[in-house]
Amino acid sequence: MSNVTMEKIVSLCKRRGFIFPGSEIYGGLANTWDYGPYGVELKNNVKKYWWKKFVQNRQDIVGIDASILMNPRVWEASGHVASFSDPLMDCKNCHERVRGDKLIESKLGIDAAVGKSLKEIGEIIKKEQIPCPKCGKNDFTEARSFNLMFKTHQGVIEESSALVYLRPETAQGIFVNFKNILATTRKKIPFGIAQIGKAFRNEITPGNFTFRTREFEQMEIEYFIKTGTAVTMFEKLKQESWQFYTELGIKADKLRFREHDPKELSHYSKMTVDIEYEFPFGWGELMGLAHRGTYDLTQHSKFSGEELSYFDPETNEKFVPEVIEPSFGLDRSVLTFLIDAYDEDEISGEKRVVMRFHPVLAPIKVAVLPLVRNKTIITAKAKEIYNLLKKDFYLDYDESGSIGKRYRRQDEIGTPYCVTIDFDTVEKDNAVTVRNRDTTKQERVNINNLSSFLEQKIAN
Ligand code: GAP
């Protein structure tokens, strides 16, 4: 029985060192979160798997790592200066700031909210008497457009000529490097460029733990294609994106595709399909797949004066490629893996919390546990086994507390295997007990075969 709630996830994350509130000793900074020792392992494992699947295991996608700060003209060209905004309203009674479209969506559904002008948003909220989520009154300021990009200044002079933005998506770092990548890799269309990195958005209503924050990481691919191939490529990348989650153990019945209504599309998109997950607070977007057409390369060509086209050596044609973009939220994915893995069950009448992470994602792969701690022959053997396994697996070594308590601790952080060293290991059979997290079944494995036994179970 899962019985998962956001409260349980937030509390487990804090208690076991997955995710802490940001700047906590100073009273925190709203909606900022810091990944702790197990959280950073989990997050790195998600990145590693994604990078392997979409970059290293295939010939048609290469990676880059571009700067967060970019020439501000990039954001004029991309349309973010003019169009990357949300409808902001203030409650006149309690001064709560709300997103007008989200307020309508929560009461009347998404169809009632999409594609509405600022004026229409104000009118609907008034007509439907939608209350302020904080004080319950219906008395808001007019809706105004609020640009979500964070601004800062580069250098020592705080003047407009030194204005720079923190990138709101990693995608633009890819488009501005299109020419460099083409020249250095000689890739033939269709090919993609992938990037993992931070993005920043001054969200009006962040919340639901790490689901919506102002600083987050994205894993994005811009996939460049020939006109006329978009439908096939879109479908292929859509399936591959879905598989990314199911291969890592996400339950398929908790996932769904959702196609955007044309009125809901971002300024650059001709078509968007999201993969959504059923979070404890309802269905929410995990990643989005957009058909960006030739929008970005055309815009950058216009604004930079550089030609950003592709020459096809087979047809001797020059053209601006179209783009299909799978864009994954890394922090949202990590949150999803945490929620989906959470389980509660009972072992011989004793309740336990167990994180059923896919072994590839588990922060700790194997825990080495000497059965008793004050017997030097056993701890010496346990340390020997620790040293033997540490080349291949990220391990924990724990000798404090009863063996039952130690198993519980490992279950709670999702360690797939525990290796216990006892008297028989040293005196009789040169074997250890390997305990499976999910079944709690135990089996004796000879130390000579231990590494390969675990390797088989935990395909890295
Ligand atoms: N380049 C396209 C793009 O940025 P998006 O739908 O705005 O598209 C892509 O963002 C993904 O980034 C989302 O599906 C979500 O997983 C993640 N994301 C967006 N805003 C976020 C936020 N404020 N906090 C956490 N993740 C966010």
Q: Is the pLDDT score of 290 beyond 60?
A: yes
Question: Around Cβ 173, how many Cβ atoms within 10 Å?
Answer: 21
pLDDT at 211: 98
Start-to-end CA distance of the chain, whole Å, equals 28
Which residues lie across from 99 on neighbouring strands? 88
Work out the average pLDDT over 139-154: 93
For the CA of 274, the nearest atom of ligand 1? 14
pLDDT interval class at 362 (50, 70, 90): very high
pLDDT at 156: 75
pLDDT at 114: 86
- Cβ–ligand 1 contact at 173 (below 6 Å): no
DSSP calls for 308-343: --EEETTTTEEEPPEEEEEEEEHHHHHHHHHHHHEE
Cα gap 312→290, rounded to integer Å: 24
- Cβ–ligand 1 contact at 406 (below 6 Å): no
> What would the pLDDT profile of 212-246 be if each residue is shown by its tens digit?
999 999 999 999 999 999 999 999 999 999 999 99
Work out the average pLDDT over 110-137: 92
- Cβ–ligand 1 contact at 288 (below 6 Å): yes
pLDDT at 158: 65
| φ, ψ of residue 37 in degrees (nearest 5) | -55, -45
Contact assessment for residue 430 and residue 447, using Cβ atoms and an 8 Å cutoff: yes
Cα gap 325→35, rounded to integer Å: 28
Q: Whose CA is nearest to atom 6 of ligand 1?
A: 288
Q: Is the pLDDT score of 283 beyond 90?
A: yes
Contact assessment for residue 84 and residue 148, using Cβ atoms and an 8 Å cutoff: yes
CA of 330 to the centre of ligand 1 (A): 9
Which residues lie across from 433 on neighbouring strands? 420, 444
Please give the model's pTM, rounded to 2 decimal places. 0.94
pLDDT at 47: 98
Q: Is the pLDDT score of 372 beyond 80?
A: yes
Contact assessment for residue 23 and residue 17, using Cβ atoms and an 8 Å cutoff: no
- Cβ–ligand 1 contact at 332 (below 6 Å): yes
Q: Is 115 helix (H, G, I), strand (E, B) or coil?
A: coil
- Cβ–ligand 1 contact at 171 (below 6 Å): yes
Q: Is the pLDDT score of 460 beyond 70?
A: no
CA of 241 to the centre of ligand 1 (A): 15
- Cβ–ligand 1 contact at 218 (below 6 Å): yes
Q: Is the pLDDT score of 252 beyond 60?
A: yes
Q: Whose CA is nearest to atom 17 of ligand 1?
A: 329
- Cβ–ligand 1 contact at 329 (below 6 Å): yes
Q: Is the pLDDT score of 440 beyond 80?
A: yes
Q: Whose CA is nearest to atom 4 of ligand 1?
A: 169
Cis omega (within 30 of 0) for bond into 131 = no
Work out the average pLDDT over 403-416: 96
Contact assessment for residue 200 and residue 167, using Cβ atoms and an 8 Å cutoff: yes
Contact assessment for residue 445 and residue 432, using Cβ atoms and an 8 Å cutoff: yes
For the CA of 286, the nearest atom of ligand 1? 16
Cα gap 448→409, rounded to integer Å: 27
Q: Is the pLDDT score of 91 beyond 60?
A: yes
pLDDT interval class at 266 (50, 70, 90): confident
The set of residues, in sequence order, having a beta carbon less than 8 Å from that of 156 and lying 6+ positions away, is: none
DSSP calls for 367-384: EEEES-SS-HHHHHHHHH
Backbone conformation region of residue 8, classed left if phi is above 0, alpha if psi is from -120 to 50, else beta:
alpha
Closest alpha carbon to 37 in 394, 375, 359, 317: 394
Q: Is the pLDDT score of 409 beyond 90?
A: yes
> What would the pLDDT profile of 173-189 be if each residue is shown by its tens digit?
999 999 999 999 989 99
Cα gap 447→430, rounded to integer Å: 6
- Cβ–ligand 1 contact at 333 (below 6 Å): no
Q: Is 123 helix (H, G, I), strand (E, B) or coil?
A: helix
| φ, ψ of residue 339 in degrees (nearest 5) | -65, -45
Contact assessment for residue 229 and residue 190, using Cβ atoms and an 8 Å cutoff: yes
Of the ranges 140-149, 333-342, 345-354, the best mean pLDDT one: 333-342
Between 1 and 339, name the one with better pLDDT: 339
The pLDDT mean for the chain works out to 95
Distance, C-alpha 399 to centroid of its chain: 34
pLDDT at 264: 85
From residue 128, give the alpha-carbon distance in Å to each of 28, 86, 121, 175: 36, 20, 11, 43
Q: Is the pLDDT score of 382 beyond 80?
A: yes
Cα gap 255→285, rounded to integer Å: 10
pLDDT at 1: 62
Q: Whose CA is nearest to atom 9 of ligand 1?
A: 327
Contact assessment for residue 370 and residue 424, using Cβ atoms and an 8 Å cutoff: no
CA of 115 to the centre of ligand 1 (A): 19
Q: Is the pLDDT score of 49 beyond 70?
A: yes
Q: Is the pLDDT score of 274 beyond 60?
A: yes
Q: Is the pLDDT score of 388 beyond 60?
A: yes
